[in-house]
A = this chain, B = another copy of it.
Amino acid sequence: MDSTKTNTETTINMPESKSTKGKAMAYTAITNATPHRQGGWKRGVAIFDFILRICALVAALVATTTMGTTDQTLPFFTQFFQFQASYDDLPTFTFFVVANAIASGYLVLSLPFSIIGIVRPHAAGIKLLLLILDTVLVAFTAAAAASAAAIVYLAHNGNSTTNWLAICQQFTDFCQKVSGAVVASFIAAAIFIFLVVLSAVALRRH
């Protein structure tokens, strides 16, 4: 590949001294030869990247709002106490809401950069930046989803060793909404992994 590259470059530099028209032609010839085919392929990847980002944004927003609006008050109460469960009673669920809100915010901010990637498929710096941030967000959303899943599992099944009783018999609605939010967050994490893979494939030139 090195030898062909050298050849094309030599043919450019030769007419440079003769006329500007020749130079322009030579330049067109090069752009038609190699990078154009690559550009088309890379543009497709960039468009796919943009679509995936919108899907991840929807998933993260669903996870945030579902968990954030989860609040159930039981229809019976004792003299001193009313039974109520909300997401902010459990620190893990608060972390879940914050992490998914951050993921949503990041995804909104990353959309313009993704569009730049479509317009200029060869801008490797932006792809590298997005890849690095996406990787951090993979860890973030996966951690949020997994920790919430661990608590939801406990709420459904309880644990005999630690004497923690299942609460989902009472808080049915609460458990259902929380489970849905966890699934949405796992989907967001999976899309983030896919985004990283896509950026890596696009970064590798060939």
Contacts and interface: CB of A to CB of B under 8 A. Distances in A.
A183 interface: no
A127 B32 CA distance: 27
Most buried by B among A16, A124, A131, A160: A131
Most buried by B among A21, A127, A200, A201: A200
Contacts of A2: 31-32
A144 interface: yes
Interface residues on A, range: 35 or more
A6 interface: yes
A28 B2 CA distance: 10
A160 B205 CA distance: 56
B197 A90 contact: no
A161 B193 contact: no
A159 interface: yes
A127 B84 CA distance: 52
A142 B204 CA distance: 26
B196 A135 contact: yes
For the complex of A and B, 4 pairs with smallest distance between CB atoms: A143-B146, A147-B150, A89-B161, A13-B24
Given A84-B161, A89-B162, A131-B196, 14 more contacts: A2-B32, A6-B31, A13-B27, A16-B20, A89-B160, A89-B161, A124-B204, A132-B196, A135-B193, A138-B139, A139-B189, A151-B154, A162-B164, A163-B165
